[in-house]
């Protein structure tokens, strides 16, 4: 093994806003003290109950992805396992997400974007 995953970092215009958005979806603690990094106006973290840490860094000229437009690719996306896709979509939208693709009836996933434009999928597990 060469390395261990420390966290997943997403560029954005407002780190605290995005950290709070993901906290509303995943639970956890925003800006929990951690010796691995310092926290400031340009960096926020979310320690999730299931273990992974998400970090959010401010980018001055941030340009959000435009899914599925290849001229502004998504660069990465996150898949979140959910029991009820309809309920999860409703709650994600209420928290500030944007629905990008509801798909066809009966499909087991939905594509949304966080407030900074990063696509993520709600996938029935």
At 24-67, the pLDDT tens digits run 999 999 999 988 888 899 999 999 999 999 999 999 999 999 88
- Give the strand pairing for 78-82 and 119-124: parallel
Mean pLDDT calculated for residue range 110-119: 93
* Predicted TM-score (pTM) of this structure: 0.83
8-58 is a CATH 3.30.70.100 domain: no
- Residue 55 C-alpha from the chain's centroid: 10
CB 17 within 8 A of CB 43: no
Mean pLDDT calculated for residue range 82-101: 94
- Residue 53 C-alpha from the chain's centroid: 11
Give pLDDT, residue 13: 95
Q: How many residues does the chain have?
A: 125
Superfamily of domain 78-124: 2,3-Dihydroxybiphenyl 1,2-Dioxygenase, domain 1 (3.10.180.10)
Q: Does residue 68 have a cis bond before it (omega within 30 degrees)?
A: yes
């Amino acid at each position: 093994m060469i390395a261990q995953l420390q966290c997943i970092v997403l560029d954005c215009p407002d780190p605290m806003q995005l950290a709070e958005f993901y906290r509303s979806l995943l639970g956890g603690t925003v800006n929990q003290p951690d010796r691995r990094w310092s926290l400031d106006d340009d960096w926020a973290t979310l320690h999730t109950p299931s273990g992974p840490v998400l970090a959010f860094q401010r980018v001055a000229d941030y340009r959000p992805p435009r899914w599925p437009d290849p001229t502004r690719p998504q660069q990465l996306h996150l898949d979140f396992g959910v029991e009820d896709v309809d309920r999860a979509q409703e709650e994600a939208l209420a928290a500030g997400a944007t629905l990008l693709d509801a798909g066809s009836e009966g499909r087991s996933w939905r594509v949304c974007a966080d407030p900074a434009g990063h696509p993520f999928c709600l996938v029935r597990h």
